[in-house]
């Protein structure tokens, strides 16, 4: 039998300060109301959403025309899910009324047989379930169903859950291998996880079975998407897929092989992330180790071979996809915000049966870097694509940068990312701990207070006080839990750390043999945690993680970063911006051996870093008259200031400016500091 | 009145040895017969051409279906033009019979009213002149007409010229600003230059006027391409232009402004090159200084801001176009072979009224690098796109490399480049000298022998003996020309050079004030030539250009080359190949201050270079287990061998292998050699 871990109940945990708290606060106070206005088409200058109006049309309450792509409904699902999480954490009558109003509207828009999809109800009546591959009916269902479960868990109200169960019942009748059923899985994975969530909320086994069907149908023969494509007369919904036989690119929807045989991420990055989430959740609930193993293999491969230093994944614009191992270009990086969200969720889902510190490290990498970069400090502007290097003249110069925006946008015609980011931010509390009846894993360090109800119904109250990630000192107060074991994650970036328990120093966290600490017999357990047996009713733990600044180098097969280094401090990736360093950042280099100065300036509480030995290429006066010349550029010393990547582009007054994560390294003959 | 210069008559000049001679020989002996087979659809494994067959169909002599794009006819024009040049240089009954046969076929395919275009005759009868922008009727006419003039000049046979004059007469009736005429210029420039050539061959002023109309109509209002697009029901011939209103991208066909107001290259790179050729030729024949000034401005801007070190131009795949100033990416470089051809022709055309050494330098850069790289040493494989860096795993990994082929191809579905390259190679003799009644400019150094008939009908016989560009010693024997002035180009890459005349040393070519030597009053004359007054009937000149190896650095605004250097020897750009340096070329760096070794190994007579202080990044053993790590890679000494870019990819047995022109520079603390 699998070992399974719970995640915190958002009603019982909250962030109380620091980076993640501030991030969540911007989302709650700014982004949530702003997005509500956008979804209602009341924000001038933002791309139109149409999402709420589409439901009104479907309910027969508006005579407007359907607006947007075929998956507009999912934006509502994500926003409602975010609303549910916020309502779990604190009361908000205005937010709850808005949410209830939308839920009532969904109820009125639902068809008699349970069907609920505005695109096929309004824009293509009669064509439902004719383009499973491209038209995202099951994807939209999934997001709405996830929201429904979250809303039920937060508020106790059943209406939304009932609506989605009616739709789920229709889908369970429609999809399957029985005579008269459609033997297809969702073109854009998402329903798998949603069906597991419905199962967890209702106990209805049919939903878990449908999740299993969805998973195991993928990659099976015959390939249903060819069949439906032929039936449709070879037409595609998306212009960029027109003329392509679906089976010409089975990788796009992860159908090259059965999911149980997957070894690496293939195709559309967000699809992969949601698929893995579904695989992990299903594996846990169905006690399916083979499914979990496949999920774990793909996660490991993703982290090792296809993840940017910021945690972003999916490096190519074409089909928004994963690419080959170690192909991680910086300027044309896609790194969709949704893919970051999807991967965090997959990692959390996977850790629920296998708390591995390397997965927690990856989660932390995304949470402190790629994810928050997706939103502006004003909460009202968003990135869809997250490059690691921006040089505005080139973005103008070449269509290969077509999707790269150097400035966060108020909304997008394809607006999947902004509401996805808010639901992830709202649920960060779920990422902090994992626990069962006798173990508590601490995966994130963040000022927070929470109560965990362990599997044996005992309660443990945990209070974290820390300025992490700006400071490495973490005070953790544990109330209760006597006889349980606490596992503190020692981040992969950390080389030095000290610990004391109830005022007594235990020395370096690295003297403790981390490998042995895990102490359980399953193979999926690994090193990276420091274990403490709780023996008192109240335990005061002080963990000090040395928060050094360090240069980072990339794997020898990552061509884009050869001869370059990035700079990190703790889990935070820094970048150079035009605002601080001037234009032409590619002319900068630095000698990492000289180290860095920290502060005293700060941006949003983060210390600004500066390279102690920074240079800028210096060209002789007359070279600009020729495109190529013989005079070697000299290096003149230059100040290089670095700020967290998470905050980039926030100080440019909305103008496109340069940014880069990776900087050229240089050797300076003078090694004195 | 303009000062105008003649170019050599190919019947009176030939290459006798060395690089350019060998290049021309491969083209004559291998490529010409090979392409003849391809054009006749007799080469298995090569993309089908259909070009000859299309003419048969148009002549009613075949019942096949039209094959290929709308501009297949131009491939025949280019091949015939190449044939004409070869026949000028030496008799070849087989080649001449093949050419005559095609010409007779063209005659039979020509419509009664003179129209001659297989696409609209066969595939879209009734639609002629309905899509001037995209369907290349005037472009195909231009290539055939250029060939006809060349064939007439070479062989004295009028038939082809007469055919094309009949078509030209129809076009002159069809296009113009009079009532009932189409007020349009060619969508793909080429006809302008062809009309000037027809004027020069026939003396018929109507053709010169039509060239002028074509030029001055471009960029005028109303924008005819919108009008015809509306008439066609908003349809485009090319899928990638579908749905785009032509005026949304007037730059694509250089129509943003009147050509006289152009300041920089805009849009499709080949179109720009042919347009400039037409502008220069028309300006010369019509005594139109304003037109020449515009052409010169665009050439200067191109050379200064948008030319790769290899001479290639047109950096972006999207619309095969010029881009912004200094945007010159290496891996996604387009650098179409046709654009190299077009730019050489434009430069030669422009120098005929303004012999500027900076233009001759640019011409030399293309001729020794980008152009010959377009063909394999076996003469039967070609590059369309000419990147400066090839890393095969990434070409597979991302659609942004879609058009980059790491291996030369036997033919292309869009086969404009291979026959264009052969006509350019065949006419290289025309690029060597410029002359009028009292001046002779020597623009290329190459073993050759030629007789120039100056404007005063006096004859000068010139014999060059040199191993240039592998050696900088040039022996030039001048017979006749007493009282004339010889201008020897001192290449821009050269820092040291010595000269002697009739055995008497005149010392350094740089002691002579090159600026004053030009001695004429026109503003377009400039420095860069060394002048010698010819006073004897037989003059022996020895010019020694110091053929050093030197690192080259790129303009501070060329981002792609920051922190890197290329290596040149004389005019020849070198590159590193996997064959000599191993895989992962991006891990190499070198300290240019240590210099280079020359030979003793050679490839195709070129000395192989090696960096005296080369390095390869050395990673510690265990880093490959993590994507990012803290251990700085060390540098271990490594051999870096370099071969001419012109020859790259010829030693790989047809496999995709790495290549790079630009290498990272490094500083080594040990400066002893």
- Tens-digit pLDDT profile for residues B291-313: 999 999 999 999 999 999 999 99
pLDDT at A521 over 90: no
Q: Decide if B416 is catalytic.
A: yes
A324 touches chain B (CB under 8 A): yes
Q: How far is A412 from chain B (nearest CA, A)?
A: 22
Mean pLDDT of B310-324: 96
Average pLDDT of chain B, as a whole number? 95
pLDDT at B521 over 50: no
pLDDT digits (tens, 9 = 90+) for B337-393: 999 999 999 999 999 999 999 999 999 999 999 999 999 999 999 999 999 999 999
* Contact between chains at B398 and A329 (C-beta distance less than 8 A): yes
In the block, residue with structure tokens 């357990």? A525
Least confident of A10-24, A144-158, A565-579, B238-252: B238-252
pLDDT digits (tens, 9 = 90+) for A371-402: 999 999 999 999 999 999 999 999 999 999 99
pLDDT digits (tens, 9 = 90+) for A27-57: 999 999 999 999 999 999 999 999 999 999 9
Structure confidence at residue A522 (pLDDT): 34
pTM: 0.94
Of the pLDDT bands very low, low, confident and very high (cuts 50, 70, 90), residue B669 is low
Of the pLDDT bands very low, low, confident and very high (cuts 50, 70, 90), residue A242 is confident
* Contact between chains at B318 and A399 (C-beta distance less than 8 A): yes
CA A576 vs CA A239, A590, B411, B622: distances in Å: 38, 12, 46, 29
* Contact between chains at A628 and B589 (C-beta distance less than 8 A): no
Of the pLDDT bands very low, low, confident and very high (cuts 50, 70, 90), residue B622 is confident
pLDDT digits (tens, 9 = 90+) for B550-607: 999 999 999 999 999 999 999 999 999 999 999 999 999 999 999 999 989 999 999 9
Q: Where in chain B is the domain with CATH 1.50.10.10?
A: 10-431
Mean pLDDT of B108-114: 98
Structure confidence at residue A669 (pLDDT): 64
pLDDT at A193 over 50: yes
Question: With pLDDT > 70 as the criterion, what percentage of chain B qualifies?
Answer: 97
pLDDT at B167 over 50: yes
Structure confidence at residue B658 (pLDDT): 98
Q: Is residue B163 within 8 Å of B20, Cβ to Cβ? A: no
Least confident of B73-87, B190-204, B456-470, B624-638: B624-638
Three-class DSSP category at B549: strand
Residue B93, burial from CB neighbour count under 10 angstroms (0-12, 13-18, 19+): exposed
Task: Return the half-sphere exposure (C-beta side, CA atoms, 13 A cut-off) of residue A625.
Answer: 5
Q: Which residue of A has its CA nearest to B321?
A: A398
Structure confidence at residue B670 (pLDDT): 56
Structure confidence at residue A668 (pLDDT): 76
pLDDT digits (tens, 9 = 90+) for B467-481: 999 999 999 999 999
Structure confidence at residue A520 (pLDDT): 38
Of the pLDDT bands very low, low, confident and very high (cuts 50, 70, 90), residue A673 is very low
Residues B81, B320, B336, B389: which is the catalytic one?
B320
Residues from chain A contacting residue B619 (CB–CB below 8 Å): 556
Please tell me which of the candidates B326, B555, B586 has its beta carbon nearest to residue A623. Answer: B555
Question: With pLDDT > 70 as the criterion, what percentage of chain A qualifies?
Answer: 97
Ramachandran sector of residue B278 (left: φ over 0; alpha: ψ -120 to 50; beta: rest): alpha
Q: Decide if B431 is catalytic.
A: no
Three-class DSSP category at A602: strand
Structure confidence at residue B525 (pLDDT): 36
In the block, residue with structure tokens 């349809």? B235
Please give the Cα distance from B429 to B11 (Å, whole number): 10
* Contact between chains at B316 and A397 (C-beta distance less than 8 A): yes
Task: Return the half-sphere exposure (C-beta side, CA atoms, 13 A cut-off) of residue B451.
Answer: 8
Average pLDDT of chain A, as a whole number? 95
* Contact between chains at B632 and A587 (C-beta distance less than 8 A): no
Q: Which residue of B has its CA nearest to A391?
A: B559
Tokens found for residue A463:
């209070």
Q: Which of A76, A200, A228, A233 is nearest to A140 (CA)?
A: A76
A594 touches chain B (CB under 8 A): no
Of the pLDDT bands very low, low, confident and very high (cuts 50, 70, 90), residue B186 is very high
Structure confidence at residue A620 (pLDDT): 87
CATH 1.20.1250.20, domain B10-431, yes or no: no
Structure confidence at residue B243 (pLDDT): 85
Of the pLDDT bands very low, low, confident and very high (cuts 50, 70, 90), residue A75 is very high
Q: Which of B432, B260, B458 is nearest to B348 (CA)?
A: B432
Structure confidence at residue A510 (pLDDT): 82
Q: Is residue A335 within 8 Å of A313, Cβ to Cβ? A: yes
Of the pLDDT bands very low, low, confident and very high (cuts 50, 70, 90), residue B515 is very low
Largest CA distance in chain B: 79
Tokens found for residue B216:
């001055």
Please tell me which of the candidates B316, B555, B559 has its beta carbon nearest to residue A586. Answer: B559
Please give the Cα distance from A26 to B347 (Å, whole number): 60
Structure confidence at residue B242 (pLDDT): 86
pLDDT at B96 over 60: yes
pLDDT at B418 over 90: yes
Residue A655, burial from CB neighbour count under 10 angstroms (0-12, 13-18, 19+): exposed
Residues B165, B416, B494, B575: which is the catalytic one?
B416
Mean pLDDT of B264-284: 98
């Amino acid at each position: 039998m699998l070992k399974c871990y719970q995640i915190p109940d958002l009603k019982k945990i909250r962030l109380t300060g620091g980076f993640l708290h501030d991030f969540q606060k911007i989302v709650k106070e700014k982004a949530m109301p702003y997005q509500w206005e956008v979804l209602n088409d009341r924000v001038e200058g933002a791309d139109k959403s149409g999402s709420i109006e589409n439901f009104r049309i479907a309910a027969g309450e508006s005579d407007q025309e359907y607006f947007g792509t075929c998956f507009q409904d999912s934006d509502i699902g994500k926003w409602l899910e975010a609303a549910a999480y916020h309502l779990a954490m604190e009361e908000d009558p205005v937010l709850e009324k808005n949410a209830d109003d939308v839920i009532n509207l969904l109820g009125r828009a639902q068809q008699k047989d349970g069907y609920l999809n505005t695109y096929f109800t309004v824009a293509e009546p009669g064509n439902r379930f004719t383009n499973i591959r491209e038209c995202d009916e099951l994807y939209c269902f999934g997001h709405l169903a996830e929201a429904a479960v979250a809303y039920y868990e937060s508020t106790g109200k059943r209406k939304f859950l009932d609506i989605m169960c009616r739709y789920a019942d229709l889908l369970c009748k429609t999809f399957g291998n029985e005579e008269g059923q459609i033997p297809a899985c969702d073109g854009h994975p998402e329903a798998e996880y949603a069906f597991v969530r419905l199962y967890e909320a209702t106990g209805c086994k049919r939903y878990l079975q449908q999740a299993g069907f969805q998973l195991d149908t993928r990659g099976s023969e015959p390939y249903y998407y060819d069949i439906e494509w032929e039936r449709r007369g070879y037409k595609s919904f998306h212009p960029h897929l027109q003329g392509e036989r679906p089976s010409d690119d089975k990788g796009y929807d992860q159908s090259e092989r059965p999911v149980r045989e997957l070894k690496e991420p293939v195709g559309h990055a967000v699809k992969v992330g949601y698929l893995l989430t579904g695989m992990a959740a299903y594996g846990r609930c169905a006690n399916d180790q083979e499914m979990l193993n496949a999920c774990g293999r793909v996660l490991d491969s993703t982290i090792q071979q296809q993840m940017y230093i910021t945690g972003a994944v999916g490096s190519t614009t074409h089909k928004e996809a994963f690419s080959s191992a170690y192909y991680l270009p910086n300027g044309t990086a896609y790194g969709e915000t949704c893919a970051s969200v999807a991967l965090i969720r997959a990692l959390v889902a996977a850790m629920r049966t296998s708390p591995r510190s390397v997965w927690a490290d990856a989660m932390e990498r995304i949470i402190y870097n790629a994810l928050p970069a997706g939103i502006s400090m004003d909460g009202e502007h968003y990135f869809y694509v997250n490059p690691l290097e921006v040089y505005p003249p080139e973005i103008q110069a070449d269509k290969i940068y077509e999707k790269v925006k150097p400035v966060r946008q108020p909304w997008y015609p394809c607006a999947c990312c902004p509401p996805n980011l808010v639901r992830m931010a709202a649920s960060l509390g779920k990422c902090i701990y994992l626990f069962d009846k006798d173990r508590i894993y601490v995966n994130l360090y963040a000022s927070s207070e929470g109560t965990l109800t362990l599997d044996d119904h005992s309660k443990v109250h945990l209070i974290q006080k820390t300025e992490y990630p700006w400071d490495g000192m973490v005070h953790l107060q544990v109330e209760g839990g006597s006889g349980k074991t606490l596992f503190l994650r020692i981040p992969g970036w950390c080389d030095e750390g000290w610990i004391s328990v109830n005022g007594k120093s235990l020395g370096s966290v690295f003297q403790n043999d981390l490998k042995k600490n895990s102490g359980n017999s399953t193979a999926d357990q690994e090193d990276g945690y420091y274990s403490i047996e709780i023996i008192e009713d109240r335990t005061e733990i002080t963990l000090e993680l040395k928060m050094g600044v360090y240069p980072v180098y990339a794997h020898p097969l990552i061509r884009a970063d050869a001869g370059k280094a990035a700079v990190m401090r703790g889990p935070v990736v820094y970048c150079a911006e035009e605002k601080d360093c001037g234009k032409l950042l590619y002319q900068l280099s630095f000698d990492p051996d000289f180290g860095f100065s920290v502060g005293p300036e700060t941006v949003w509480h983060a210390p600004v870093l500066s390279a102690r030995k920074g240079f800028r290429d210096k060209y002789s006066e007359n070279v600009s008259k020729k495109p190529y010349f013989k005079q070697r550029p000299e290096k003149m010393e230059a100040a290089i200031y670095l700020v967290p990547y998470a905050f980039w582009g926030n100080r440019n007054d909305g103008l496109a400016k340069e940014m880069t994560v990776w900087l050229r390294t240089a050797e300076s003959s003078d090694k004195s500091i």
